[in-house]
Amino acid sequence: MQTDGKQLAQLLLRLSELQVRPHQQWLNDALETLQPQLSQIDAAELAGCLQALGTWQHAPPSAFMQAFHAATSQQLQQQGLSMQHLGEIAWGLAQLQDINAAQLMAELLEAAAHIMAARQPSNSAAAASNAHCSSSSSNSTALSAGMADLVWAVAKLQIHPGKAWMAAYEAASQQLLRSFSPHELAQVVWGFARLPHQPGDAWRGLFLEAVQARLSEFDSKSISLTAWALATLKFQPDFRWLFNFERRAECVLSTLAAAELACTLWALSELKQKSPHKLRLGRLVRRQERFHAFDFQLLVNPRLLRVVRSLTLGPQQGRPSQST
């Protein structure tokens, strides 16, 4: 086995990118080798290591996580973490459901606040220094990915950053919405809905435009997360936007898992103020009898139960109440 910490961390990330999960014992040995070297590897390697573990949902021993927290704090003190690194580490902590993540997450959020403040147009010196970065698509992509991962992670861990932080995040993300990928757009709006945080009208309008521009790239997960978040936050897209969004949901219908499908139908019924069986997507599901594939566990959720009842009983069911 590789014994150099830097190369071992890089190997873990590479394996996860290739969707190769090592044997459990190999992973345990690798982490044991890596643990005493965590303080010697750089920010990218720290982030990549945790990203790999999060992808595999392999929870390391508590001693490893303590060493990881200490090494990350050290990097933060040296201002060695970019927004992309912050997001990747936060994402990993959320994936691993780290119960001791609160302190480290607070440090990550503070570092993110400094990065977001430096990008504000009111800071002319910072704006000038960031002009070159803003023109670089690779830097913009890394920044948007980090911001999306970060807000998804705080929502997943249910750690509310506070109103001031969320206001700064909303302002910073609004400038980047057009550069977000479909997956990132879904992450951000889902994070807002889960916390919850109600974005302003300007952000909502730009978000809907960004989704419309990349709608053909949305997969089943992005569709279901976005639909749920829009309904939860009570967005009011216009008829044409909803028509196009529902058509995209129809295009990915065959890949929608039962929970994603039920969630999407509930959300569209709320957004369009129609019973699920009256939706184009609902009629298609009824024709294909996809509702028979719904997991019984979904029925314990009152919202999703209404979806199933509407699809199975049709016109006998009224429109879901707006109080859901």
pLDDT at residue 132, rounded to an integer: 43
Matching residue, tokens 């090494």: 71
Structure tokens at 18: 């290739």
Question: Going by C-beta distance under 8 Å and a sequence separation of 6 or more, which residues neighbour residue 275?
Answer: 269, 282, 310, 317, 318, 319, 320
pLDDT at residue 292, rounded to an integer: 59
Distance of alpha carbon 121 from alpha carbon 125, whole angstroms: 9
Inter-residue long-range contacts of 192-199, CB under 8 Å, 24+ positions, other chains counted: 192/151, 192/155, 192/229, 192/233, 193/228, 193/229, 193/232, 193/233, 194/155, 194/156, 194/158, 194/229, 195/154, 195/155, 195/160, 195/166, 196/232, 196/233, 197/166, 197/170, 198/233, 199/170, 199/233
pLDDT at residue 299, rounded to an integer: 59
Domain assignments of the chain as residue spans, ordered by start:
1-118
pLDDT at residue 304, rounded to an integer: 73
pLDDT at residue 258, rounded to an integer: 83
Profile the chain (324 residues) by mean pLDDT over runs of 10 residues. Answer: 88 96 96 97 96 96 97 94 97 96 97 92 46 54 95 96 97 96 98 98 98 98 98 98 98 90 93 93 84 59 76 59 42
Judged by phi (left if over 0) then psi (alpha if -120 to 50, else beta), residue 82 lies in beta
Angle, helices 83-95/43-56, rounded to nearest 10 degrees: 30
Burial class (CB in 10 A: 0-12, 13-18, 19+), 73: middle
HEC readout, 240-278: HHHHHHHHHHHHCHHHCCHHHHHHHHHHHHHHHCCCHHH
- The b-or-e profile of 284-296 (16+ CB within 10 A means b, else e) is ebbeeebbeebee
